[in-house]
Amino acid sequence: MNNMQGAFVQGATAYGRLLEVFIDGHWWVVGDYLENVGKCTKRLGANAYPHLYGGSTMSKNFRGSSPKVSGYASPSKEIQSRFCK
């Protein structure tokens, strides 16, 4: 009876390994999820409250985004208002 390597012991060992991998995998997935939620929350916070994250004004963050400054999307014809006749 010193070597108890029967079907029950082998089944319990296999179940323990499966459970260990299952739990470890879930911890990995939950950790990645929480890390991404944290990064996204920080990014949203920096956009909503730039003064808390080192930014001073919103115009500083969006410099060069207008078509006049960047040179993109310049109109090729005159634009008339739809309601003025």
pLDDT band with cut points at 50, 70 and 90 for residue 33: very high
Residue 7, both tokens: 């079907």
Tell me what pLDDT residue 32 has.
Answer: 92
Residue range 62-66: mean pLDDT, rounded: 57
Residue 74, both tokens: 């310049």
Non-local CB neighbours of 55 within 8 Å, separated by 6+ positions = 46, 61
Tell me what pLDDT residue 1 has.
Answer: 47
| Maximum alpha-carbon separation in the chain | 102
Tell me what pLDDT residue 10 has.
Answer: 85
User: Distance between CA 30 and CA 38 in Å, rounded?
Assistant: 12
SS3 (DSSP) at 12 = helix
